[in-house]
Copies of this chain bind each other. A is one copy, B any other.
Amino acid sequence: MSLLYGNAVVGQSGGPTSAINATLSGVIRGAYEAHGAGIIEKLYGMKNGIEGFLREDFVSLFEIFDTPEKLQTLETTPAAALGSCRRKLKDHEKDADTFAEILRIFKKYDIRYFFYIGGNDSMDTVLKLSRYAADHDFEMRVVGIPKTIDNDLMATDHTPGFGSAAKFVATTVKEILRDVSVYTMNAVTIVEIMGRDAGWLTASAALPLLSGGMAPDLIYLPEKVFDPEKFIADVRAALEKHPAILVAASEGIKLANGHYVGEGTDSRKVDAFGHTALSGTGRVLEELVKDEIGCKVRSIELSLPQRCAAHIASLTDLRESVEVGRGGVLSAIAGATGVMMTIVRDNEGGEYSFHVGTADISKIANEIRRVPDEYINAEGNGITAAGLDYLAPLIVGEPYIEYENGLPKHFVIE
């Protein structure tokens, strides 16, 4: 395979994370290396993902990021500096015009490298574009670089962005544990954590156990059927031990009939992708405890900060997020296309280390990786030592963050 010379474009799609800009920085760093080698001439940034691409709304990333300091600030800036979109490409048979337009833009700008940072839906876009380009004899490399706080993509040990979200969740739960422990009366606090189909983020609420020994009394993941009667019995049993009970529950826990617990209060809403938008799981559990037990109870929804609290990002996650971006460029130069970058854990059991790999996207897109049984206790209300072993290294380390007038400095692309 010969070297492919031309320009590159990178975009960000789907919900933001605290680490998606670290991956953008990694792509820019990799592209600079390829630029130095004479392979990539220009690196375009598409504004608002594929939507901006179709509008030819490009910025020149080599011009914007002309010093290492700017890249460092970018790496600790939450959300998507290039903007994002929720658009998912249809099959090219059903939307031939859009695909023809994309190919026209590839040719117009001599774009030979397409990097798309996103979640499951973005990987689907990468798969379709790589196949379309190949079918139309346009030589190019299309690489997907994963991100999601949900950690639910196949083929990778974990996803960039998850470690920082997990560190936020674990830190906040640890702080809430201190807060709720100050009173002597019986009180139940329910923390609702993001995760529609997979309970990885909720499981990370158990991590304070490795840092001081306290953890939520009860943890409920979507992987196990949620039984309200068992839940009330669990809470009663916990109250026998001490007065302040902390419950961590995933927004996506479901009843035996398949309905989300969170459907109880809010009407069933559907987002742009046809996913059910959930809210109110914590409130439903709060009402349940109030009705059945009658003690003081409150619920806390961790909400958006789970995906944007970059001030408490995991250094491990940010480093890996940079490396999958950089590795995506280097893999593409080496010939990879239609692939998703992955993180490979080197040595389970020993000291944690990782390397970057690739996986065939056709085997990944639209599938969900759930928390395995071995990470969930037999009662279905806690995390096992094996689960803690898996999660623990992902939240380690604190990045250097520059503060400006008391607040973390962010890099904003106008």
Contact = CB atoms under 8 A, between A and B. Distances in A.
A304 B300 contact: yes
A310 interface: yes
Interface string A129-172: 00000000000000000000000000000000000000100111
Contact of A183 (B85, B174, B312, B314): B85
Contact of A305 (B175, B180, B210, B396): B175
A80 interface: yes
Interface stretch (A59-67, A337-345, A359-367, A399-407): A399-407
B396 A175 contact: no
Interface residues of A, number: 59
Contacts of A311: 171, 175, 312
B406 A170 contact: yes
Contact of A48 (B184, B303, B396, B412): B184
B403 A183 contact: no
A85 B184 contact: yes
Given A179-B308, A182-B16, A303-B300, A410 B174 contact: yes
B407 A182 contact: no
A305 B172 CA distance: 7
Given A78-B178, A176-B304, A176-B305, A396 B404 contact: no
Nearest to A388: B405
B170 A207 contact: no
A179 B16 contact: yes
A41 interface: no
A35 to B, nearest CB: 27
